[in-house]
Amino acid sequence: MFYTIVGTQWGDEGKGKIVDWLSSKADLVVRFQGGNNAGHTIKVDDDVYKLNLLPSGIIRNKKCLIGNGVVLDPWALINEISILTDQKILIDKNNLLIAENVCLILPIHKLIDEINELSRGNNIIGTTKKGIGPAYEDKVGRRAIRLCDLSDHKTLKNKIKNLYDFHEPRLKKFNKKADFEKAFEDLVKISSEIINFSAPVWKIINDAGKQNKFILFEGAQGSLLDIDFGTYPYVTSSNTSSGQIFSGTGFGIKENHNVLGITKAYTTRVGSGPFVTELDDETGDHFVEKGQEFGTVTKRRRRCGWFDSVLVKQSIAINGITDVVLTKLDVLDEIKEIKVCIGYESEKKKYNYLPFDENLHDKLMPIYETIPGWRTSTFGLTSWNQLPKKAQDYINFLELKIEKNISIISTGPDRVNTIDRNNLLNNS
């Protein structure tokens, strides 16, 4: 059985919670793109775990793999392992393996990330400043340092020098300097610790596939941040949609592959970029407070707005989503009238999709339908029948608009606060 979990909006949909929930069944949990720009939260009773690079299955001591599609900051990895060790989650090569061909984020990439943002002036993207974009640029530019380069220190030194030399003129323009010798020495210091996790992930995953093991692919970010299909240029630098699992891990297209689209019951976004249903009023503030909408990685206040069925429907198509998981339903509990965007209009035209032309985005107005709120608590409910009728109506309405079944509903941050309408967990 193969499951992929992807976000259908701009990230932070609750992917970590759902990966943790489903990973009770998994043999392997695999990250296939992004890096430590991700922030996945898992709540188990009184314990809260925040994961950036490590697959969320690590909390259940599942075998976790980091695929070649990820960009890996080795220092961030060591730091995350140490935080989790303090939380009594033990990590070694029995439960964590990293693709030998994964590309590394070096200190220079964070510096370039900063410069890139500075040079955009008013059009700043609002990146996480983790060096993600610059690391992917070096990968495509064929000068990246990969995990497998760490074992030969002589060639490693030359490769790092080449990479640093390549960027020097631009850094100079911004009065910045990157010390290649220091980067090399610092990397050598930790190289044996990192190499320890190195493995041919593509092979492990294919062997597991042949044995029909339960493999769970954990997406980071959301489809609207996808480098191709997102709200470019206000996106991340990887393909965040499900197609990336094949090139990001070496796992081929197979049968029995389900794709769960994690979708918040409203919409949020961190960083700049278009957001047609954004709310700049009390309701938006209510979402921030009740939903605790502050970035896991950067602590920034998330921008909040109404559910946008146009965008979710688009994401469902692009990802080949088989079932939708609706999260944070409980955050809507007090709302009197809930709006759902069902289309856009500009002065000239109506749209049932978001056009790619950046110049159009500011001109689009949402077309809403209004659904009465249920105004009673749904927090922690675990069965469909416990939901108030109006909450059921809201979910039924969303299903109609996005043309997909909402099979799982999350009613709180804890793994037990979950409604599994079709008993997917037990049937998997």
Candidate list 5, 8, 12, 243; residue touching ligand IMO; CB under 6 A? 12
Phi, psi of 134 (to 5 degrees): -60, -35
For residue 413, the partner it binds in Mg ion, ligand GDP, ligand IMO, none, with Cβ less than 5 to 8 A by kind, is ligand GDP
What is 239-285 written as a DSSP string? --STTHHHHHH-----SSEEEEEEEESSEEE-SSS--TTB--SHHHH
Tell which phi-psi region holds residue 40, choosing left (phi > 0), alpha (psi between -120 and 50) or beta: beta
Among positions 197-226, residues that touch ligand IMO (CB under 6 A) are 220-222, 225
Reading the block at residue 116, the tokens are 């890139």
Nearest to 368 by CA among 407, 340, 409, 393: 340
Nearer CB in complex with ligand IMO: 201/270:
270
Nearer CB in complex with ligand GDP: 237/411:
411
Contact 44, 59 (CB under 8 A): yes
Candidate list 14, 39, 55, 284; residue touching ligand IMO; CB under 6 A? 39
Establish if 37 lies at the interface with Mg ion (CB under 5 A): no
Nearer CB in complex with Mg ion: 286/300:
300
Establish if 12 lies at the interface with Mg ion (CB under 5 A): yes
CA distance 307 to 73: 34
Q: What minimum distance in Å lies between the beta carbon of 52 and ligand IMO?
A: 8
Residue that is written with structure tokens 């709006």 in the block: 339
Q: What minimum distance in Å lies between the beta carbon of 270 and ligand IMO?
A: 4
Candidate list 250, 271, 305, 343; residue touching ligand IMO; CB under 6 A? 271
Establish if 36 lies at the interface with Mg ion (CB under 5 A): no
Bond prior to 233 in cis (omega within 30° of 0): yes
Q: What minimum distance in Å lies between the beta carbon of 296 and Mg ion?
A: 5
Q: What minimum distance in Å lies between the beta carbon of 248 and ligand IMO?
A: 14
CA distance 27 to 422: 22
**Residues noted as catalytic:** 12, 40
Reading the block at residue 14, the tokens are 């609750």
Per CB under 6 A, residues contacting ligand IMO are: 7, 10-12, 37-40, 125-128, 130, 132-133, 220-222, 225, 236-237, 270-271, 296
- For binding to Mg ion (CB under 5 A), which residues are involved? 12, 39, 296
